[in-house]
């Protein structure tokens, strides 16, 4: 790991090697065992897991660690439960708890976030952000760390209403759904204001605004309701001097200019985002993180894996703030040999 390389890239100073981050690989226990030699599994105790994961990220040279603090747990009890498919090792993330307390579109459109979702006092929130950041630094002292917010706008609405009621409400009355979105933006602004006051240098702002195929609502609706809320809520973060990174799952290529105009300093991209387009427009002025296709590691040949890493490097090496990463994650069902080969190719091609 290299804190120096990570900070250089974050400040667009083009380090001599392409830094990297990954997601979930440090919890792929068969891969961790192969890389570190530590006998670890899902059944191991937490100390063993922590030691093995720590050694793994050192061996794989993570230079940046994606992290957020404020997620769906900050929302109140009246919200949808959407379950969760098996993803993590051992299926520990599986949930069949599915339900929605909202029984009509009208109930959704009239929802009062401030009345239903309590917030702490600001001093408590600031302290929690600072403590979370310090915990990340203590765990990963040789890389760039952060804290942040997961439920920025659309993700907060998804977590509250669930997909079915969200889409019904948006399709039934786009303008009133936009007004609902504005009310959410007003409610969540508290956390952005608290984060702006916190003594942390880097923040992650997450919002799943699209699907793999792109926007699920009309683009002009996003530009009327989503991005104005981004601008209001991100302004104090930017004015405080923090580096603001942005993540959305799916293909948000069509909105890259809109997100950039909100002032973010960098983009985390899944493979469905056209990184070549992003690099052409913002490769000299923004941090780019991504965007190798996890599906290639899952089922591709070694030749395909090499070609995918080469594709990312051909685009990213010209960009001073490029971090290599596999998006979306290196999950526990990724063949160990493929993951190890991916890392070997990354290391081979990482020098500028």
Same domain (yes/no): 54, 88: no
Q: Which two tokens stand for residue 288?
A: 């780019």
Say whether both 187 and 320 belong to one domain: no
Whether 275 is covered by a domain: the verdict is no
Long-range contacts of 96-99 (CB under 8 A, 24+ apart): none
The string of pLDDT tens digits covering residues 99-135 is: 889 999 999 999 999 999 999 999 999 999 999 999 9
Token pair for 327 = 């998006």
Beta strands 81-84 and 95-99 are antiparallel
Look at residue 71 and give its three-state secondary structure: coil
Q: Where are the beta strands (DSSP E) in the chain?
A: 81-84, 95-99, 147-149, 202-206, 210-211, 214-215, 243-247, 266-268, 287-289, 292-293, 322-323, 326-327
Chosen domain end from 250, 269, 298: 250
Asked if residue 180 is part of any domain, the answer here is: yes
| Domain membership of residue 3 as a residue range | 1-65+283-352
Same domain, 118 and 236: yes
Say if residue 36 is in the same domain as residue 181. Answer: no
Could you report the per-residue pLDDT of 41-60, keeping only the tens digit for each?
Answer: 999 999 999 999 999 999 99
Q: Is the peptide bond before 291 cis (omega within 30 degrees of 0)?
A: yes
Q: Are residues 237 and 88 in the same domain?
A: yes
pTM: 0.95
Contact assessment for residue 265 and residue 287, using Cβ atoms and an 8 Å cutoff: yes
> Is there a domain that residue 274 lies in?
no
277 lies in a domain?
no
At 90 the pLDDT is: 67
**What is residue 35's predicted lDDT score, i.e. its pLDDT?**
98
H or E segment at 158? Answer: helix 154-172
Looking at 206, 234, 250, the residue that finishes a domain is 250
Domain boundary at 250, 271, 294, which?
Answer: 250
H or E element that contains 225: none
| Residues 170 and 46 grouped into a single domain | no
For 190-220, letters b (16+ CB in 10 Å) and e give: bbbbbbbebebebbbbbbbbbeeeebebeee
Tally of domains within the chain: 2
DSSP 13-59: ---SB--B--SSGGG-HHHHHHHH-----TTS-HHHHHHHHHHHHHH
95 and 60 inside one domain: no
Within this chain, do residues 162 and 108 fall inside the same structural domain, yes or no?
Answer: yes
Within this chain, do residues 177 and 72 fall inside the same structural domain, yes or no?
A: yes
pLDDT value of position 77: 81
Question: Is residue 55 located within the same domain as residue 88?
Answer: no
Would residue 339 count as lying in a domain? yes
How far is it, in rounded angstroms, from Cα 141 to Cα 133?
A: 11
230 with 86, same domain?
yes
Cα 307 from Cα 321, distance rounded (Å) = 22
Query: What is the pLDDT, as a whole number, of residue 302?
Result: 97
Question: Is residue 101 in some structural domain?
Answer: yes
Same domain as 48, residue 107: no
pLDDT tens per residue, the chain (352 residues)?
Answer: 689 999 999 999 999 999 999 999 999 999 999 999 999 999 999 999 999 999 999 999 999 999 999 999 999 888 876 655 555 666 665 556 678 899 999 999 999 999 999 999 999 999 999 999 999 999 999 999 999 999 999 999 999 999 999 999 999 999 999 999 999 999 999 999 999 999 999 999 999 999 999 999 999 999 999 999 999 999 999 999 999 999 999 999 999 999 999 999 999 999 999 999 999 999 999 999 999 999 999 999 999 999 999 999 999 999 999 999 998 899 999 999 999 999 999 999 999 9
289: in domain: yes
Question: Which of these, 124, 142, 136, lies nearest to 4 by C-alpha position?
Answer: 142
Tell me if 103 is assigned to some domain: yes
Report how far apart, in Å, the C-alpha atoms of 106 and of each of 82, 172, 180, 223 are: 21, 10, 11, 24
> Looking at residue 82, what is its pLDDT?
60
């Amino acid at each position: 790991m290299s804190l120096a390389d990570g900070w250089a890239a974050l400040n667009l100073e083009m380090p001599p090697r392409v830094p990297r981050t990954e997601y979930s690989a440090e919890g792929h226990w068969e891969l961790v065992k192969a890389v570190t030699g530590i006998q670890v599994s899902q059944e191991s105790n937490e100390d063993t897991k922590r030691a093995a994961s720590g050694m793994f990220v050192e061996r794989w040279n993570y230079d940046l660690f994606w992290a957020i603090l404020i997620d769906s747990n900050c929302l109140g009890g009246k919200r949808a439960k959407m379950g969760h498919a098996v993803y993590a090792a051992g299926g520990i993330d599986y949930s069949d708890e599915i339900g929605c307390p909202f029984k009509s579109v009208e109930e959704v459109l009239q929802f009062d976030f401030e009345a239903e979702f309590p917030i702490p006092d600001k001093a408590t929130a600031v302290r929690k952000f600072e403590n979370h950041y310090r915990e990340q630094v203590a765990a990963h002292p040789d890389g760039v760390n952060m804290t942040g917010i997961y439920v920025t706008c659309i993700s907060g609405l998804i977590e509250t209403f669930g997909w079915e009621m969200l889409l019904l409400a948006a399709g039934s009355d786009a303008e009133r759904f936009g007004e609902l979105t504005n009310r959410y933006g007003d409610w969540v602004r508290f956390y952005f204001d608290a984060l702006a006051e916190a003594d942390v240098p880097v923040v992650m702002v997450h919002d799943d605004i699209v699907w793999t195929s792109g926007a699920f609502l009309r683009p002009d609706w996003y530009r009327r309701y989503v991005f104005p809320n981004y601008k209001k809520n991100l302004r104090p973060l930017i004015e405080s001097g923090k580096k603001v990174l942005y993540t959305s799952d799916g293909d948000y290529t069509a909105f890259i200019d809109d997100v950039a105009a909100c002032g973010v300093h960098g983009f985390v991209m899944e493979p469905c985002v056209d990184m070549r387009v992003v690099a052409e427009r913002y490769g000299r002025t923004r941090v780019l993180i991504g965007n190798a296709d996890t599906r290639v590691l899952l089922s591709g040949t070694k030749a395909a894996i090499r070609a995918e890493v080469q594709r990312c490097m051909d685009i990213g090496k010209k960009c001073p703030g490029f971090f290599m990463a596999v998006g979306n994650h290196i999950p526990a069902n990724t063949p160990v040999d493929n993951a190890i080969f991916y890392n070997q190719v990354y290391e081979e091609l990482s020098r500028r």
